[in-house]
Chain A
Amino acid sequence: MSEKGHMTNTNSALRRQNKAQRLGRLGKLARGKFVSPDKVPQVLKRIIESGDILCLEGDNQKQADFLANNLATLDKKDLHDIHLVMSCITLPAHIQLFKKGMIRQVDFCYAGPQGTAVADLVKAKKFPVGAIHTYNELYARYYIDLTPRVALIAAAQADRKGNLFLAANTEETPAIVEPTAFSDGIVFAQVNEIVDKLPRIDIPADQVDLVVEAPYPMHLQALFTRDPAAITDVQVLMAMVALRGIYEKYEVQSLNHGVGFNTAAIELLLPTYGERLGLKGKICKYWMVNPLPTMIPAIESGWVESVFAVGGEVGMERYTAARSDVFFTGRDGSFHSNRAMGQLAGHYAIDMFIGASLQIDINGNSSTVSKNRITGFGGAPNMGCQPTGRRHPTKAWLKAGTEANPGPGSPPGRKLVVQMVETFQAGRVPTFVEQLDATDPSIRKALHGVAPVMIYGDDVTHIVTEEGIANLAACRSIAERQAAIRAVAGYTPVGLKRKKRETENLRARGIVQLPEDVGVRPAEASRSLLAAQDIKGLVRWSKGLYDPPPQFVDW
């Protein structure tokens, strides 16, 4: 889907001329690289041209919200036929651009908080989507056929030359700036403040064309903060089952955790239950994960060798700086993240990806899309998949590979891709379904025939529920995989269709394992096993270095 339009036949000299023309139109609106906040709408009108590929920085955490809000004050007569490329449609301002009819096409990854608004736009045929991508897939296309003409980005600080400091939330800024700056595109940065000297330079000034000091700091979402007080006994049970049946069994050394309460429970069991099992030093040493507050007890107990992250987490700044032996930090000592590189690491260099989902179908496909809420993917599919380009062996990779009984033309190893879900979501909505909502014909049509599946069933090796573990990788046929899923699907309609004899057969072969089969006594599963039972407990573990966001503070 090449959408470069008028740029296809433009050689680089012309592109450079065009950039000079755009910047030339600014006249006195800019002093060197610097723009005053009230001039931003006029500046945007002059540097963006109708038909442009325009990149708005914004993922599930960090947002160039001041620039986005200003863009949304413009109208179709100012700008139209924009091809919008961006990770996450998150802000009301983003939705405004569609409502005003300024967008010809959009290519994106995720629409979390605006999922309902996006579904409404799709129904109203006001959401001309190219495709929903995974993060790295979209960043890759920035270098191929979706190179931005203009990128509106966000940084923590700029100095007087226009060098940028990105603080803890480097995230996707380099992946946007590089393809734009090296193709004579325009990079316009909003910054929280302009200072004389930066703590460190993350983006050099010669890749930055314009800078505005925004009147309010960029929006940062606390996305990975899970209050241990909300973890249930059932989630503790699932965590115990996963620890014994997967982490211990495969000796998982390197991994990614999703953002849910299930995996938070696992993190909080490491210093207690994990320690008792003698697993310290054997599992969970290398992490590709954001600085999860619930990892603090495991880090403080010496479980974790290193953590690389795709983004920061609000409140973890002082803690991560103080634990620079575990986290990646800049020369200034503060936390560093990189979304594209983190996703790459999560794709190639980890033994296991474990996450949750809203719906799993009978073949193991999962999705977070429903008819009334179109969300998308983010990074999970970059990690929750089999990287067939991988060549280096690890214990876990080889063991999972052997179990999957590789054929003469397949890799010897397998990444563990684990889905960990309760059989029912809140409100008695079953997690297991015969068919995903994502396969709804209207959604497929809007997405040019592609159903938005988060993780494909063929990539999943295990499903963990409160009922037990289904080892899909060890199944020898589609029918067997379906029976294994039914066996752990509990009292959902999918689960009620299981046949006792089939389940017993799978259990005898170790493909289905109940808690007792992996040495877990359900009666023992209790919140009191958690190393911290509330946010305050995490702060205590951090010796006061963790500063939780206000909505989590009750002291």
Chain B
Amino acid sequence: MTRGPLFHEQTARQRIAALVDPGSFDELLPPPDRITSPYLGQLGIPVSFDDGVVIGRAKIGGKKIYLAAQVGQFVGGAVGEIHGAKLTGLFKAAARDRLPCVVVIESGGVRLHEGSAGEIAIAETMRAIFECRARKVPTIAVIGTDIGAYGGMGILSTCCDFRVMSEHGRLGISGPIVIEKWMGKKAYDSSNRALVWKTSGGKTKYLLGDADALVHDTADAVRDAIAKLLGKSSAVTLKSVKTRQKELARRLKRFGETADPDAVWKGMGVRDIARASLASGPEFAAIARRGK
């Protein structure tokens, strides 16, 4: 019964080591370079020598890629100026070299201590992602931790070609506490973990089509999913954007007034909610498919 480490419990560097071909990771701007936030120090907050994101070149299954992994333990993986510049540069390099780019997201969004710089950095990274997509360079976001992908990083993840999620991952724009603050505890109780995961967790995102793969909570499963997507890219065209807009409008019409997240699952074809709740990754995907 002994299992390997769980992806959502690993650190960014452990995740990278477990995802890529052994010895293939070549870190760019590594900690010894000490490229740290110029703002945190001024506020008396500790800095990190990688500013909360590890970036570099690597190989998966022999294929060259660019890879980033955010460090959730440092300011919740939030994006500051340096952190964001590292991401921007990585996607630009991917576009230039026509190599797929993978970002393992673990972030609540922009770092409030350097808000404007962070917002701009995220906007620049999105632009770099669209450069990749215009050149048919695959971009993949991996969301598999409790911190999830929120705020600017939530939006950024949806700019990528594909999203690989596990059931631990959460994807959204406003975080649960923010929603509760604006809408009230009756509308959205952020301490109700079941509600939070049923509305923003990997399984629901997979059902709704926001996640392209739902995998087990292990680096092996994440790597296999990435490997399958490395050869694919989807161009952003006016037609694809319009199609997506229509889908979203349909979803809003269908579920916009729904208070019970189970109703969304049922609406998406899941018959046995209890069983589907306990299923993981591909098993869940199979149950959901069978229900349709």
Contacts and interface: CB of A to CB of B under 8 A. Distances in A.
A531 B2 CA distance: 7
A551 B195 CA distance: 11
A528 B278 contact: no
Nearest to B192: A550
A206 interface: no
B206 to A, nearest CB: 13
Nearest to A276: B2
A544 interface: yes
Contact of B274 (A271, A544, A554): A544
A536 to B, nearest CB: 7
A442 B275 CA distance: 56
B32 interface: no
Most chain-A CB neighbours within 10 Å: which of B1, B9, B277?
B1
Most chain-B CB neighbours within 10 Å: which of A528, A539, A551, A554?
A554
B198 A526 contact: no
Q: By DSSP majority rule, is chain A's interface helix, strand, loop, or mixed?
A: helix
Contacts of A346: none
Contacts of A297: 1
Interface in B21-72: none
B5 interface: yes
Contact of B193 (A271, A528, A529, A553): A553
A285 B5 CA distance: 29
A540 interface: yes
Given A297-B1, A528-B2, A544-B274, A555 B9 contact: no
B191 to A, nearest CB: 8
Given A554-B196, A555-B197, A555-B201, A527 B2 contact: no
A275 B2 CA distance: 11
A385 B278 CA distance: 42
A533 interface: yes
Contact of B1 (A272, A526, A553, A554): A272
B173 to A, nearest CB: 20
B167 interface: yes
Contacts of A528: 2-6
Most chain-A CB neighbours within 10 Å: which of B3, B198, B275?
B3
Nearest to B276: A555
B259 interface: no
B194 interface: yes
B91 to A, nearest CB: 32
A540 B9 contact: no
Nearest to A531: B1
Contacts of A271: 1
B5 A551 contact: no
B1 A540 contact: no
A553 B194 contact: yes
Interface in A497-555: 526-529, 531, 533, 536, 539-540, 544, 550-551, 553-555
A550 B193 CA distance: 8
Contacts of A544: 274-275, 278
A539 B196 contact: no
B214 to A, nearest CB: 13
A536 B278 contact: yes
Given A536-B278, A544-B274, A555 B5 contact: no
A531 B1 CA distance: 6
Contacts of A301: 1
A554 B193 contact: yes
A222 to B, nearest CB: 14
A434 B290 CA distance: 64
A272 B2 CA distance: 6
A301 B197 CA distance: 30
A432 B4 CA distance: 35
B2 A555 contact: no
Nearest to A543: B278
A527 B2 CA distance: 10
B31 to A, nearest CB: 23
B4 A540 contact: no
A540 to B, nearest CB: 6
B194 A550 contact: yes
Interface of A: 271-272, 275, 297, 301, 526-529, 531, 533, 536, 539-540, 544, 550-551, 553-555
9 contacts: A272-B1, A297-B1, A528-B4, A528-B5, A539-B278, A554-B194, A554-B196, A555-B277, A555-B278
Q: 10 closest A-B pairs (Cβ-Cβ)?
A: A554-B193, A553-B194, A555-B277, A554-B197, A528-B5, A272-B2, A531-B1, A272-B1, A271-B1, A555-B197
Given A271-B1, A527-B5, 13 more contacts: A275-B1, A526-B5, A528-B2, A528-B4, A540-B278, A544-B274, A550-B192, A550-B194, A551-B193, A553-B193, A553-B194, A554-B194, A554-B196
